[in-house]
Amino acid sequence: MKKFLASKLIPVCHAAFCDYQLTRYDLACIPLTQRMFQQILPLVQTQQRPQCPRCRFYVEIQQIADRDQHIEACHPENMVPCEYCYCPTDFSEYEQHRQQCASDGTGRQQKLVDYILLRTKYPFRAQQIEFFIENKMKVHHSIIHPLSIVEELAEYNDVFPMELPTRDCDVCMESCFLDDIFVFGCDESHKLCYKCYEQSCTVKMNNNEVLTCATCPYQLQYGELKQLRISPDQRNLIVEYQVQKTFDRYASGSRGVIKCPNQACTWAFEPGNPNEHFRVICHMCANEFCSLCNQQYHYRTLCEQLAVITERWFFWCNTERGRYLTERAKQDANYAVQLTEYEKQHAASRQQNEELRRRYETSVEDEKYKAQNCRYCPHCKRVVERVDGCGSMVCGRDYHGGNVQSGCGKNFTWEQAKQYKSVAIRKPEQLANELPAPESPLVVHENITCDGCHETVRGIRFDCVHCPSLIFCEKCEQRCTLAHSNENRRQGQQQHVFRLIMTPFEDVAYF
């Protein structure tokens, strides 16, 4: 062994009489020191792994004792195949593993691939194992047994029996497995290997350029940069660079930009239409907000309606729900049960009401401030503020650069902009006047079903403006909105606001 180590030649059975190349397992059977084993291991060319006599899988060897330790710990009689990913799992850990697989539908095949990857007779690539499994499932349409996959591959030794689909990189023109090709979001769907993708980004950064597709001007998005196969630190550096270049590009021209309103976040992107109302999810901090007003995103609601709806909901939760139910109970015995339930849950609703109070008070102060200091951009109607300087304005940033926020990027003068019109601050009594009279029959909202009891909504209808679709009736709203509030709090979200809809005709007015 010392001769092979000194000459750096491939270790064989006997240099003069037998050219059989030693495997890692062969080395493990020779009485070597751990130090010499580690030194000579890189010289071994054949990658054949030894087979465990108990489980019949093959064992990856990195240390002298790896095979023996595996055999000692191997108890196939205690292993149960998972019904989802098919991987053999120790019986004592089976239930936890099964529950994890049940909730993670996308990762099941990857678990199977990872399991087989280190147990084949010869090492193969993950793409090859995955491709082999997919073809087996197409042919047999049955449960996959990892051992049968390993045994079938062992028949071909170190030659993979199938030809994987490949594609040439558009830059280096080398043939790559499809899994090693990145497809850009440009109209032409250009395709690069990940090595060329990384090199393209590095070159553009060194040249102080915006990161684009290597073969066209398409600007790379955050999600595409996150696919780079580099270290997390390198990836974050590239993402931050692109965010800054987006700002610089916006500040030097009249293009619109949308920036995450989270003060601790730097994410921004150039929308196709900066004047369009749509839901934005920050790709860096996951903050969800409205593209126009930067507030928590609101469905089926104009930005200027949000303050009124918030006020109305706060008054209802704080005082008017109890008052309404009390008056209704005097006219209708069925409401007496609902009133009793309200009184029982009143204490449980205290935290929700306090959070709504803070949101309402913040909204009131915000409206007062904007009425005194802000105006509307003449182009996109966003609320803008002049901090100081002359009357020349650019929507979304200071006129001479800096302080970049969401905006359409258009120029205007402060004198051109209309004064911000604040929402009139009302009192709870005014909401009481808008509620249905206690003696009036309940309005039926045809074809509208409550998500709590699954019955047609009668009376006041409660719509969550921050959910795609969530509707409750009078009977369910306190219990269900409280549960929804607790779920928002658990997820670290701002409290959701519900719109009170008295009649079906009022619903139409919001669209």
The 3 state secondary structure assigned to 371-387 is: HHHEEECCCCCCEEECC
What pLDDT score was predicted for residue 465?
Answer: 95
Domain ranges of the chain: 1-46, 47-164, 175-252, 303-377+417-508
Contact partners, residue 129, CB within 8 Å, separation at least 6: 113, 116, 117, 120, 149
Measured from the Cβ of residue 420, the count of other Cβ atoms closer than 10 Å reads 18
The letter for the amino acid at 17 is: F
Rounded Cα–Cα distance for residues 45 and 58 (Å): 17
CB 377 within 8 A of CB 410: yes
Query: Per-residue DSSP letters for 449-464?
Result: E-TTT-SEEESSEEEE
What pLDDT score was predicted for residue 172?
Answer: 94
What pLDDT score was predicted for residue 428?
Answer: 65
Rounded Cα–Cα distance for residues 452 and 399 (Å): 51
Is 66 exposed, middle or buried, given 0-12, 13-18 or 19+ CB atoms closer than 10 A?
A: middle
Contact partners, residue 107, CB within 8 Å, separation at least 6: 101
State the DSSP H helix or E strand holding residue 345, giving kind and residue range, or none if neither. Answer: helix 334-345
Rounded Cα–Cα distance for residues 334 and 115 (Å): 61
Sheet architecture: strand order including 461-464: 471-472, 461-464, 498-501
What pLDDT score was predicted for residue 342?
Answer: 79
Encoded tokens for 281? 């999810």
What pLDDT score was predicted for residue 429?
Answer: 64
What pLDDT score was predicted for residue 105?
Answer: 65
Judging by DSSP bridges, how do beta strands 383-385 and 392-394 pair with one another? unpaired
Tokens 């009425």 -> residue: 371
pLDDT along the chain (511 residues), means of 10: 83 79 81 85 85 92 84 92 91 89 77 93 90 84 86 92 90 90 93 95 93 92 89 90 76 69 82 85 88 91 89 88 88 81 75 81 86 89 81 74 71 89 69 75 92 94 95 92 90 90 68 39
What pLDDT score was predicted for residue 238?
Answer: 93
Rounded Cα–Cα distance for residues 326 and 320 (Å): 10
